[in-house]
């Protein structure tokens, strides 16, 4: 049966030197495919590539703002043991700590709401306006925690107000990663996109590390009573001026070339939420699946393990040393691995990390719990290497899966639903697993579970390194 299409005649050489006639067939494009191709070309013609000076300014601007966001967000985790005393007094320290981590999870549970609302908003009003707005929300919510009275002063209202502040932090964080990753990716040249986008996670680690060092300094400088009484408020007070600096930086940035080209071509979506859900649901599922391991490993390795080491009986200074060295090692690897992915692909790094976490998490947690301080530090840093393999490229992959029209919304919806389901309970579940099993290596089981889910998802996506960003439709879906 003759296929429908356009017939094209020609000749082809075959072994032996003979020339044989052949007919090549090409499927005729549908009206929808012609329309999509026309839209892509219209946006591409209006796209202006950023010069190196502008690109450097963008990387610094986004990274500084992101640093301030995650400095604020990470403080709660590093002050968990102190906040448990202030807001959740209990005869059993494990109960108070469990309640504190439950409130820590509130910021994750609320994030799907932010993803559903703020993400599509970034596709409608622009990335720059979105990023300026979320840093104001993060600064105000974190700043307000510094003024909350403790349980001893107002009883149950103290933890209730803390929950409200954490929920506001979660709303802000819901759009920060999607907006920031999109901003960097849409400014970056395709041949170096992995390298430049890796600085988003780099700045996140600086934020977490700075919060950790500040909390450690206060622990050294103040007595335990002073830290519980008033010292814990100091880091949260810094959110005010840091937020103003971050806002100033982001207001000076121009929106991305991709979004401006979309505007000039008249292709900005007027119903981004509906378009995201109906036309990009497969990409949303892939974003959520890949985000599982990133978030579970990130918060357990860099936030929870700080508390875990203290629970093993080590002083806070030892726990801080282990976390600080792990953060520094992870930071050092990120740009190198991002550049490596530009040349060799993103999927090999994602697969290596997922397999590594699945096979090595339990042995490393066991190693940390049975040896001395050197075992703790070495095990922690090994987990940091596995984390670096994943987070050096996963943000780049997530933005490359989605088209410019719905990139922030698709990223934010998939990412934050995944965060709420899998990451919010991580710290509390790890504490619970240890308390009921008596096995100090129990948190490893949750990381293994996350690694398997993300590995399965990674195997469903196509390699995106070196490919141009799509403007109106997602990347072709063949693996």
As a whole number, the mean pLDDT across the chain is: 83
Q: What integer pLDDT is reported at residue 8 of this predicted model?
A: 45
In order of 9, 12, 26, the CA distances from 21 in angstroms are 7, 6, 17
pLDDT at 401 over 50: yes
CA distance 314 to 426: 22
Name the region of 268 (left: φ>0; alpha: ψ -120 to 50; beta: rest).
beta
Confidence of residue 435 (pLDDT cuts 50, 70, 90): confident
pTM of the model: 0.81
Q: Is the pLDDT of residue 5 over 50?
A: no
How far from each other are the two terminal CA atoms of the chain, in whole angstroms? Answer: 29
Q: List pLDDT tens digits, range 89-137.
A: 766 566 666 676 677 667 777 888 889 999 999 999 999 999 999 888 8
pLDDT of residue 95: 62
Q: Which residues pair with 174 in a beta bridge?
A: none
Which residues, at least 6 apart from 473, have a Cβ–Cβ distance to it below 8 Å? 36, 39, 40, 279, 403
pLDDT tens digits, residue range 290-329?
Answer: 999 998 998 889 877 887 888 788 888 888 889 889 999 9
Give the range among 59-63, 140-144, 408-412, 448-452 with minimum mean pLDDT: 59-63
Q: What are the tens digits of pLDDT across the range 236-249?
A: 898 888 888 888 88
Question: Tens digit of pLDDT for each residue in 19-30?
Answer: 545 444 555 556
Question: Contact at 8 Å (CB) between 86 and 161?
Answer: no
Q: Do residues 254 and 131 lie in contact, with contact meaning Cβ atoms separated by under 8 Å?
A: no
């Amino acid at each position: 049966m003759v296929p429908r299409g356009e017939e094209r005649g020609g000749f082809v050489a075959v072994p032996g030197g003979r020339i044989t006639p052949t007919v090549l067939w090409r499927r005729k494009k549908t009206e929808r495919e012609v329309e999509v191709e026309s839209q892509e070309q219209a946006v591409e013609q209006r796209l202006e590539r950023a010069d190196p000076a502008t690109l450097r300014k963008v990387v610094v601007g986004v990274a500084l703002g992101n640093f301030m966001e995650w400095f604020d967000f990470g403080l709660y985790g590093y002050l968990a043991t102190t906040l448990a005393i202030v807001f959740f007094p209990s005869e059993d320290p494990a109960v108070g700590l469990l309640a504190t981590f439950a409130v820590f999870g509130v910021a994750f549970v609320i994030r799907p709401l932010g993803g559903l609302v703020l993400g599509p908003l970034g596709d409608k009003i622009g990335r720059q306006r979105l990023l300026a707005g979320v840093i104001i929300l993060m600064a105000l919510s974190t700043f307000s925690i510094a003024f909350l009275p403790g349980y001893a002063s107002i009883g149950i209202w103290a933890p209730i107000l803390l929950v409200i502040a954490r929920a506001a932090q979660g709303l802000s964080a819901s759009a920060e990663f999607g907006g920031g990753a999109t901003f960097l990716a849409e400014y970056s040249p395709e041949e170096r996109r992995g390298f430049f986008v890796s600085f988003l996670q780099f700045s996140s680690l600086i934020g977490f590390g700075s919060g950790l060092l500040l909390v450690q300094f206060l622990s050294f400088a103040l007595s335990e009573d002073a830290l519980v009484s008033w010292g814990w408020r100091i880091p949260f007070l810094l959110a005010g001026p840091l937020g103003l600096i971050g806002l100033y930086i982001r207001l000076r940035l121009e929106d991305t070339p991709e979004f401006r080209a979309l505007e000039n071509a008249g292709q900005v979506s007027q119903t981004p939420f509906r378009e995201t859900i109906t036309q990009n649901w497969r990409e949303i599922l892939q974003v959520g699946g890949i985000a599982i391991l990133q978030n579970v490993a990130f918060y357990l390795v860099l936030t929870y393990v700080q508390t875990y080491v203290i629970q093993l009986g080590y002083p806070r200074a030892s726990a801080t040393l282990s976390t600080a060295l792990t953060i520094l090692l992870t930071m050092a690897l990120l740009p190198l691995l991002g550049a490596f992915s530009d040349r060799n692909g993103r999927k090999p790094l994602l697969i290596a990390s997922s397999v590594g976490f699945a096979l090595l998490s339990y042995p490393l947690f066991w190693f940390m719990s049975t040896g001395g301080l050197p075992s703790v530090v070495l095990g922690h840093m090994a987990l940091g290497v596995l984390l670096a393999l994943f987070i050096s490229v996963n943000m780049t992959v997530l933005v490359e899966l989605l088209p410019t029209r719905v990139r922030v919304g698709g990223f934010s919806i998939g990412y934050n639903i995944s965060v709420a389901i899998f990451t919010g309970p991580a710290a509390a579940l790890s504490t619970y697993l240890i308390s009921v099993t008596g096995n100090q290596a129990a948190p490893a089981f949750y990381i293994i579970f996350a690694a398997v889910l993300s590995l399965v998802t990674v195997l469903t996506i196509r390699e995106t390194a070196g490919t141009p960003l799509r403007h109106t439709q997602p990347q072709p879906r063949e693996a």
